[in-house]
Chain A
């Protein structure tokens, strides 16, 4: 258990509305990540953070923004949700042993 909590776990929202997913960790890990998982694509990196207020884009960052104002929290925001952003979102952290651990996921449906 890497001490990662994602919220909400399930959400249905309408096209064009903003959505924020929260990732909370309890073990002071430096690196945090947001991935999305879609059939046939596996896991794709959206954004990651290497410290407070230090973030960078991944391969599928368009339409997403992130913020990390505290070590323990990494927020993913969809400014204006689209149907193509219907997906399962996973937060992850990297331990000191260079291993990535995942949260339980957030299921987002955009209708």
Chain B
């Protein structure tokens, strides 16, 4: 069965520090992979996506993610976190048919000054 695991429910980092949010997936075929960010009271905004090709993908707001097939992972990274990055982050897997998606339960990020 398809599933997405985000092992960290909550992470706290200092402003300016690096960030890595973990995502592991279970999917039988080649996955489409996504990261979304949700600020309080808002909808989910697409940060980046991976369909094929280069396994390191760049997204908006300075985020990047690396697809590692051998580890079934798609971890999100940012070299230097800003206070405005405090939000909820969701990893998702999409079926290659393009109409089924599976979401992790999210990681809440707190940024301290």
Contact = CB atoms under 8 A, between A and B. Distances in A.
B99 A101 contact: no
Nearest to A45: B101
A105 B106 CA distance: 17
A105 to B, nearest CB: 5
Interface of B: 32, 34, 36, 41-46, 49, 51, 90, 92, 94, 96, 98-99, 101, 103-106
Interface string A82-108: 000000001000100011111111000
Interface of A: 31, 40-43, 45, 48, 50, 90, 94, 98-105
A10 to B, nearest CB: 10
Contacts of B49: 99
Contacts of A100: 34, 92, 94, 101
A40 B99 CA distance: 24
A99 B34 contact: yes
Nearest to B96: A98
Given A99-B46, A102-B44, A43 B90 contact: yes
A43 B89 CA distance: 12
Given A42-B105, A99-B49, A50 B99 contact: yes
5 contacts: A43-B103, A45-B101, A48-B99, A90-B44, A100-B34
Given A100-B34, A102-B36, 6 more contacts: A42-B106, A43-B44, A43-B90, A94-B98, A98-B96, A104-B43
B42 A105 contact: yes
Contacts of A43: 44, 90, 103
B32 A98 contact: yes
A7 to B, nearest CB: 14
B65 to A, nearest CB: 14
B49 to A, nearest CB: 6
Nearest to B34: A99
A12 to B, nearest CB: 16
Nearest to A30: B99
Nearest to B101: A100
B43 A102 contact: yes
